[in-house]
Amino acid sequence: MKNYGKPKLALTMGDPAGIGPEVVLKSLKEIVKFADPIVICDYEFLRKEAKRCKIKVPDVFYVDMGNIGNKKITKGKISALCGRVSYDYIELAVLLAKQKQVEAIVTAPITKGSFHAAGIKFPGHTEMLAALTGTKEYAMMLTGGNLRVVLVTIHTSLSSVPGLITKEKVYNKIFLTACWLKKFMGIKKPVIAVSALNPHAGEGGMFGKEELKEIIPAIIKAKKMDNVDVIGPVVPDTLFYKAKKGMYDAVICMYHDQGLIPLKMTAFDTGVNVTMGLPIIRTSPDHGTAYDIAGKNLANPESFIEAARLAVFMAKKPLSRRK
């Protein structure tokens, strides 16, 4: 069943050893209602996955990469093969988006360990997508419920975070967020809160000087942007209470868990990851490969479906709907 006139989405199968194939299969019945999906996969592997999960293979367009063949995939196990094939799915999806053959891409989870086993040096999807599209300034946004969080630093050790917080990085994340909210959410004057790094926003330098040296100067610069209300640095222990009440359109967070813990508490099953700053639209579910349940037919497809919905919404570029 083809959905002519509906936005075309490239869906990647993700790591074959994880829940990606199962989630894609479970999602297609809903996705075809609002989009025309093109599934980039190893078709025979996906067909066997459907049989195992007792899912009828949906009638959509499949691009069979044919990379797995008769090679054995062990569910829940890192391997160079899984890393290589999941990389190839993403690479083709990006190419289709760059060539305007699809309006957006939705990527199923990959495993960094399998990437590394295959000799692929990217720490995750975000950095890989930036490289494939030649994007220098980009940011990861996670959205779920009424929260949108943007990360200044992503996949790095907590001990490395203070040294990576710079005026330029904080400002660039605010700028990208403001542009995204205006372009894709249709918000004329977005309200963006910037989190502090330290308790009590550093208490005037007593608990750290990152706020004084890096974060506040970035906020001062961002306040000069047209039609953007930038607030902060907001103390982390009250920030998300206010954000959940709808006081902010987005929150700039200094490190990975600062943003993802409240986001996943609010929308664990429906969170969506968006890569801002790319010349293409890309979303993904806000969960990993879930090796612990891979192959058990327990995966929840809601986050992947929501990622597809948001990709379609972004592709339509809604007109401004709020002052």
* pLDDT surpasses 50 at 1: no
Mark whether 288 and 194 lie in a shared domain. Answer: no
Query: What CATH number does the domain containing 178 carry?
Result: 3.40.718.10
Mark whether 126 and 145 lie in a shared domain. Answer: no
Average pLDDT, the chain: 92
Q: Which of 251, 269, 287 is the last residue of a domain?
A: 269
Mark whether 316 and 252 lie in a shared domain. Answer: no
Q: How far apart are CA 76 and CA 15, in angstroms?
A: 10
* pLDDT surpasses 50 at 137: yes
**What's the confidence (pLDDT) of residue 156?**
87
pLDDT digits (tens, 9 = 90+) for 273-297: 999 999 999 999 988 999 999 999 9
pLDDT digits (tens, 9 = 90+) for 187-240: 999 999 999 999 887 678 788 889 999 999 999 999 999 999 999 999 988 999
Q: What is the mean pLDDT of residues 131-135?
A: 95
Q: What is the mean pLDDT of residues 256-270?
A: 90
**What's the confidence (pLDDT) of residue 123?**
78
Mark whether 28 and 114 lie in a shared domain. Answer: yes
Q: In this prediction, what percent of the chain has a pLDDT beyond 90?
A: 82
Mark whether 144 and 123 lie in a shared domain. Answer: no
* pLDDT surpasses 50 at 321: no
Mark whether 77 and 53 lie in a shared domain. Answer: yes
Residue with tokens 């959509």: 60
- Asked if the bond preceding 233 is cis, omega within 30° of 0, the reply is yes
Mark whether 245 and 315 lie in a shared domain. Answer: no
Mark whether 95 and 49 lie in a shared domain. Answer: yes
Q: In this prediction, what percent of the chain has a pLDDT beyond 70?
A: 97
**What's the confidence (pLDDT) of residue 3?**
47
Q: How far apart are CA 251 and CA 234, in angstroms?
A: 10
Mark whether 90 and 79 lie in a shared domain. Answer: yes
Mark whether 156 and 229 lie in a shared domain. Answer: yes
Q: At 51, list the tokens.
A: 């049989």
Q: What is the mean pLDDT of residues 139-153?
A: 93
Q: At 162, list the tokens.
A: 């203070």
Cα–Cα separations (whole angstroms), residue 8 to 4, 59, 245, 261, 313: 9, 15, 35, 32, 12
Q: At 298, list the tokens.
A: 């327990």
pTM of the model: 0.91
Q: Which of 229, 247, 269 is the last residue of a domain?
A: 269
Asked if 196 and 235 count as a contact pair (C-beta separation under 8 A), the reply is yes
Q: At 166, list the tokens.
A: 């710079």
pLDDT digits (tens, 9 = 90+) for 47-88: 999 999 999 998 999 999 999 989 999 999 999 999 999 999
Mark whether 207 and 111 lie in a shared domain. Answer: no
**What's the confidence (pLDDT) of residue 2?**
44
Provide the residue range defining the domain that includes 310. Answer: 1-135+278-323
**What's the confidence (pLDDT) of residue 4?**
52
Q: Which of 250, 269, 288 is the last residue of a domain?
A: 269
Mark whether 92 and 8 lie in a shared domain. Answer: yes
* pLDDT surpasses 50 at 322: no
If DSSP states are collapsed to H, E and C, what string results for 21-45?
Answer: HHHHHHHHHHHCCCCEEEEEECHHH
Total domains in the fold of the chain:
2
